[in-house]
Structure 1
C-alpha cells in the first residue's frame, strides 16, 4: 500500500508490501529508498511517533525498523539529533537507452559567451530583495505578453542614454532571447506578405535558419572591410538583417556611408531594418558606436540582449519596434509562450534604474579589453595568422594561412586538446573559395583560467606550424 509522510519534514511516497509483515515491509521500503538515492545522505527522518501516526503502525514497529537499519548501517542516530540517513553510495542502475553526457571543454574559447563568474551576484541579490519585498501579487502575478512595464521603462531610458535608440516603453517588447525576437519578427513579416530578407554573408547560420524556417528566402549581402555592402544589394527584399556596431563574425562596424545607404533604402522601399546589437556595449578604443536605429526609428527594429552582459541562461532580450509592429509582435509573443518570466525582468529593471548594470558593464569592459590585448599579443608571434575587426565585442576573427590544414582539421586538433572554438566556414552562405578562419572568444573563461586557455591554444598552434616545416 502507498503511504505519504504528509506531516514530516520531507514528502516521500513509499510502498509497504502487504505480503510482508509490517516491520519487514517498512524496513524494505526505507532500505530501497536509501539504496536508490531517493533518501539522500543526511536526510532527517520523522520521529518514530510521527511516522507511526502517518503510516498507521505502532510506535514499537517503527522503532524496531529504525534500530535494524541503524545496525545495518543505513541510518545513524544521535541523542537529541534524531535519525538521519547514513552516507552510503546509492545504487546506480544504467538505462539501456541513456547516452553518456559529454564532458565540457577544458578551455572554452567560443565566441559570444561572457565570463559568467563575473556575474554581479551581490547587486543581483540586493535587487532581488528589494523586488521581493514589494507586493507579492505584483511580483508573482500573471505577466504581460509585451513584458513588464518596469523593465520596458528602464530600457527606454537606458537604450536612449547609452545606445542612442529612439523609443518609448510602449514600443518595447521583452523576449526570451534574440532567437525568439527574430522568430517572432520573421513570422509577422511572413504573415504580412514578405517574401525575402537580406542577410550578411558571412553571418550567424542559426539566425539565417530562423528566417528561412518562417518561409522567407534569404538574399546574401557580401561583407568587406566596411561592413555589409548594403548599397550593392541587387535582390528585391522586404527586410534587411544587420549587425552594424560589430559585424558578426568579421568584427567590423558598418561604415557611415553605408549606414546612410541603409537609411535611404528603408525610406525609398518601405523595407524594414532589423538591427542585432548583440554586443554593442563592448567597444574598447572609444565610446560605443550608436545604434543604427536612430537614423530611421520608424523603419528599424532594434534588438538587444542581456546574454552577453550578464549570462545567456537569464533568457532576457528586448526589441524596440516601429509603432506599426507592436501589436502584431505582441500577439505573436502571446501565441508563442504567453509572456516572459517576470521576476528576472523586475530585477534587471532595478539594476538598470540603480545603475548597477552600468557599473557591471564598465567593469567587464575593462577586463575584456585586457584579455583581447593579450590575445592579439600572442597572435602577433605566429606568422600567417591575421586578426580582423575593431577593438570590440567578445571575440576576434583570425583567418588561417592558405598552406595550413583545412579548417575542420584545425578545429579537430584543438578539440583533442580540450579547446572549444568556432570555425568561419559554416557562417558563409557558400564557403567555397572563401577564407578559412577561427572565431576565438576571449571572454568566457574565468579570470584565472584565461591564460592557461591561451597557453593551450598557442601550444596547439605551434604544433601545427611545426608540422608544416
Structure 2
C-alpha cells in the first residue's frame, strides 16, 4: 500500500560529500539506490525541488537536473499538481523479501465464520464515547501530568478501577493496591517475576487453560505444572499434590471449558493458599458477562492477602485499548511496580485518564449493558443452532462470557474437524489447542471438543459456521449427527 505523505513527506536520508565528486551525481546515485531497494515505495511523493535543495544546501537547479534525469530513466514520474513520485518498478527487480522467506502470491483462503476465542464485538466498540473521553482528558489534564507519572500508574485510574472492583466484583482493594499495566499479559509477566523474587519457584496452571501462560511462567523463572479442570473448575485436591505455591486460574468463566469455579472449590482454594503460604492469581476476564444471574464475586474479596487479581479492557472494550491493572497484596506491590519501572515506565497517561473518565461518567457501564444484550442474543442463536445440528447437551459453558465448548462425538478427530472446517471457510480451535504438558510428562486425555468464540461473529455467521462444523464432523461420524442440520432459512 502506498503511503501518501503530506507536503512531500519526511526528509530523505541523503548525505552529500562535497569532497567526493559532483553533488548532482551523488544525489542521483543515492535516489536510484533508494528506489531500487524499495526504501522509497512506488507512488511515494518526493520532496519539492525547493525543499530538497534547502535541506541539502545546494542550488535548486541541481535538484531539478537530478529529478529530470531520474524521470528520463523511468525511476520517477511527474504530473502537474501531483509533484514528483516514485514510479512502479518491474516486479523482477531486487525488491527486499519479507522476513522469514520469499514472498508468496497465494491469497489466503476466505474465512466466512471465525469462532476465534477472546475477540469482543469490534463493531460495537464505543468509539464516540472513547473519543469524548480522550478529548476530555486532553482538555482537563494539567501540564505537569504530561511528564513521567507515578510508576504505579495514573492515580485517578487506580482509584476508579479499585472502586469499580469493590462495587461490581465484591473486591476490597484500594488505589494503593493497584498497578496500571498495558494489558493482561504484561501484568502477568510483572507478577510472575515478582513471585520469583519472593522465592516462589513453581506455579500451577489450569489444564486445559489459556494459551502460552506456561511459556510466560518459564520466562519469569518459574516451572509450570498442569492441574486438571472438571465441571466444577480447577481440581484443588490435585493442586495440593503439585507442590506449587502459586496458581493462575480463570474462576468466573474458565478458559476454555466455560465452567465457573464452584463455591466449595473457591473455599478450598483459599484454604490451600493459607496452608502453603501461597498466592492465587485471578484472571478476572469475562466476569462482566453473566447471563443466568449476577456476576460471581472476585476471589480477591475472599482473601485479599492471598489473591492477586488481574484485569484489562481487552474484552470489555477492545484489545487496541491496551490497558489493564493488577490488584495485589501490599507485600507484592513494590516488586510489581519495580518490574514495571525497569521495563516500560508506564502505559500512555492520556489513555489512562481517558479510561478513568469513561468509567466514572457511566459511559463504560452503558456500553457493557448494550454488548451484554448482544452477546446474550448471539449465545441463544449459537445454542439453538448447535442443538439442531448436534443434538441436545453438546454445548457447555453458556452461563457467562463470549465463548462456549462444543463436545464432539466420541472418536472424532479434533484436528481433522478443524482442518476440514478451515478448508470450508470456518476458523475454529479444538480443545487440545489449550493443553500443555511439561517436557516428559503425560496429561490425561480430554474428550474431543471445539472452542466457539461468539463475540465477533454475526447471527448469520454463527448459523453458517455451525452447519459447516456439522458437515465436517459428519464426514467421520455420520450416525452421530442429526440429518436435519440444513434448513432453508439463513
TM-score w.r.t. length of structure 2:
0.81
Residue 60 of structure 1, CA deviation: 4.2
CA contact 1:242–1:274 (8 Å) conserved in 2:
yes
Partner residue in 1 for 2:401: 393
Q: 1:111 aligns with which of 93, 117, 135?
A: 117
Partner residue in 2 for 1:12: 12
Q: Which runs of 5+ in 1 are unaligned?
A: 1-6
How far apart, CA to CA, are the structure 2 residues paired with 1:170 and 1:347? Answer: 20
Partner residue in 2 for 1:83: 83
CA contact 1:302–1:320 (8 Å) conserved in 2:
yes
Worse overlay, 376-385 or 9-18: 9-18
Worse overlay, 13-22 or 326-335: 13-22
Q: 1:131 aligns with which of 108, 121, 137?
A: 137
How far apart, CA to CA, are the structure 1 residues paired with 2:166 and 2:401? Answer: 20
Residue 225 of structure 1, CA deviation: 2.0
Partner residue in 2 for 1:360: 367
1:374-423: per-residue Cα shift (whole Å, max 9, x none)?
1111111223671111321121111211132x211212212223433222
Residue 167 of structure 1, CA deviation: 0.8
Written as runs of structure 1 = structure 2, the 5 A alignment for 1:59-458 is 59-63=60-64, 74-78=76-80, 81=81, 83-85=83-85, 88=88, 93-95=95-97, 98-99=100-101, 100=103, 103=108, 106=111, 107-135=113-141, 137-230=143-236, 233-235=239-241, 236-383=243-390, 386-404=394-412, 406-428=413-435, 429=437, 430-445=442-457, 447=458, 451-452=460-461, 454-458=463-467
How far apart, CA to CA, are the structure 1 residues paired with 2:428 and 2:371? Answer: 21
Residue 197 of structure 1, CA deviation: 3.0
How far apart, CA to CA, are the structure 2 residues paired with 1:312 and 1:367? Answer: 18
Say how many residue pairs are matched: 456
How far apart, CA to CA, are the structure 2 residues paired with 1:25 and 1:216? Answer: 56
Match of 1:382, SS state, is helix
TM-score w.r.t. length of structure 1:
0.85
How far apart, CA to CA, are the structure 2 residues paired with 1:23 and 1:386? Answer: 74
Match of 1:408, SS state, is helix
How far apart, CA to CA, are the structure 2 residues paired with 1:96 and 1:127? Answer: 39
CA contact 1:45–1:82 (8 Å) conserved in 2:
no
Cα distance 1:27–1:451, how it changes in 2: closer, same or farther (>3 A)?
A: same
Q: Which runs of 5+ in 2 are unaligned?
A: 1-6, 479-490
How far apart, CA to CA, are the structure 2 residues paired with 1:95 and 1:219? Answer: 41
Cα distance 1:195–1:24, how it changes in 2: closer, same or farther (>3 A)?
A: closer
Match of 2:320, SS state, is helix
